[in-house]
């Protein structure tokens, strides 16, 4: 009998312990469930089908929600733009020396198909970085359609690899006596067309650099950057026409670049050089007279090829050029961008370029 009492007491204690443990388990479970009910609710909502979720959301959307969502979207776009870094000094897609040939014909349709990234007017800016400079390419032009095709064919890919924010402007000299003409027969005035290109380009965009290029010169190395430097830059320093040598130290012809500040410092280019020759030397004198020097790439990187051609009609050597060059310092203050006059005849926006036909007047 005493053994039975002992066994019963032991059984009673065991049962009591089990009851206590069960109570504790239930209590912990309830507490855990209550604390995580919000998370479970969110989880259940995330498992709903898109249709169910859309229906529930539509019931809760308010005008304020829409406003906040739009504001959030704009903020996200702005933050993405801010994350773009400035393009590097040495863009990663440059290839160096290039093979430049003029034996195979080139069509504008071919060039357009190869440059689908361009915006109307021959505009481009890199997508993955912010260009260091905004560059206007200014080409003085008349009756050089075949040359222009090669220039566009070679230069657009080069300028894009150089990661420039650029636009191409063809400044076409029309016959001053006929406002409807697109290919004039008046005496050619290269420097004045360059001034016009500067003025017209700034009407469209806040360019800070200007590259002035003859249409028949093609660079043979894409490391020859078509941009501006701390000093005016001569880019076509090693032309096949001159045996890949600089013809003389003061030579500043072919292709050059000046920043907006440098251009205004010399009052732009002269407007009174009619016919061939002299304006490049006048520009060199302007640069030197303002205490600036000409910078150049080395003779290897600065190589370029010229498309062979006969001299244009109405572009005979300027007989007054030597006298004008001798008086640059006296005339540059009143002959330049501050005295520029012209009339725009027509503006054409092509995918590859902006062509501006102008009446430049007569000598």
Q: Which of 123, 161, 185, 276 is catalytic?
A: 276
Q: How far apart are CA 361 and CA 349, in angstroms?
A: 24
Q: Which of 82, 127, 308, 311 is catalytic?
A: 311
Angle at 260 between CA 320 and CA 357, to 5 degrees: 60
Please, are residues 115 and 153 in contact by the beta-carbon 8 Å criterion? no
Q: Which of 280, 281, 282, 335 is catalytic?
A: 280
The first and second tokens of residue 86, run together, are 């400035």
Q: How far apart are CA 217 and CA 151, in angstroms?
A: 7
311 is catalytic: yes
128 is catalytic: no
Q: Which of 40, 67, 309, 327 is catalytic?
A: 309
Q: Which of 214, 221, 282, 335 is catalytic?
A: 214
Q: Which residues contact 82 (CB under 8 A, 6 or more apart)?
A: none
Helices 190-204 and 279-289, interaxial angle, to 10°? 60
- The residue ranges of DSSP E strands in 78-225, in sequence order, are 123-124, 134-141, 165-173, 209-213, 217-219
Q: Map residue 289 onto helix, strand or coil.
A: helix
Q: Which of 216, 221, 222, 281 is catalytic?
A: 216
Please, are residues 234 and 252 in contact by the beta-carbon 8 Å criterion? yes
216 is catalytic: yes
35 is catalytic: no
Q: How far apart are CA 22 and CA 197, in angstroms?
A: 91
Tally of CB atoms within 10 A around 112:
15
Q: How far apart are CA 242 and CA 79, in angstroms?
A: 52
276 is catalytic: yes
Q: Which of 163, 165, 200, 279 is catalytic?
A: 279
65 is catalytic: no
Q: Which residues are catalytic?
A: 214, 216, 276, 279-280, 306, 309, 311
């Amino acid at each position: 009998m005493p053994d039975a009492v002992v066994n019963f007491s032991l059984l009673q204690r065991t049962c009591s312990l089990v009851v206590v443990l069960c109570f504790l388990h239930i209590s912990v479970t309830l507490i855990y469930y209550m604390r995580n009910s919000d998370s479970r609710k969110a989880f259940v909502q995330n498992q709903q089908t898109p249709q169910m979720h859309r229906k529930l959301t539509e019931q809760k959307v308010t005008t304020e929600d829409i406003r906040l969502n739009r504001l959030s979207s704009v903020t996200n776009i702005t933050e993405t733009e801010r994350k773009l870094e400035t393009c590097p000094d040495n863009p990663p897609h440059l290839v160096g020396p290039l093979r430049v040939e003029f034996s195979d014909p080139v069509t504008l349709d071919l060039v357009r198909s190869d440059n689908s990234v361009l915006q109307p007017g021959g505009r481009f800016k890199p997508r993955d970085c912010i260009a260091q400079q905004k560059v206007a390419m200014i080409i003085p032009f008349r009756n050089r359609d075949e040359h222009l095709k090669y220039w566009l064919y070679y230069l657009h890919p080069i300028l894009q690899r150089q990661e420039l924010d650029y636009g191409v402007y063809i400044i076409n000299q029309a016959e001053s006596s006929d406002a409807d003409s697109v290919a004039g027969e008046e005496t050619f005035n290269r420097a004045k067309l360059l001034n016009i290109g500067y003025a017209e380009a700034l009407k469209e965009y806040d360019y800070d650099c200007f590259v002035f290029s003859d249409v028949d010169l093609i660079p043979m190395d894409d490391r020859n950057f078509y941009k501006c430097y701390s000093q005016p830059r001569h880019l076509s320093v090693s032309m096949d026409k001159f045996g890949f040598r600089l013809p003389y130290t003061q030579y500043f012809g072919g292709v050059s670049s000046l920043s907006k500040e440098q251009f205004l410092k010399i009052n732009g280019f002269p407007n009174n050089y009619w016919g061939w020759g002299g304006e490049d030397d006048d520009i060199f004198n302007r640069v030197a007279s303002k205490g600036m020097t000409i910078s150049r790439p080395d003779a290897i990187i600065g190589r370029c090829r010229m498309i062979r051609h006969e001299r244009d009609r109405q572009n005979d050597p300027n007989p007054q050029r030597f006298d004008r060059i001798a008086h640059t310092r006296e005339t540059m203050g009143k002959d330049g961008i501050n005295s520029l006059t012209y009339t725009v005849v027509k503006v054409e926006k092509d995918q590859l370029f902006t062509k501006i036909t102008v009446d430049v007047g007569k000598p």
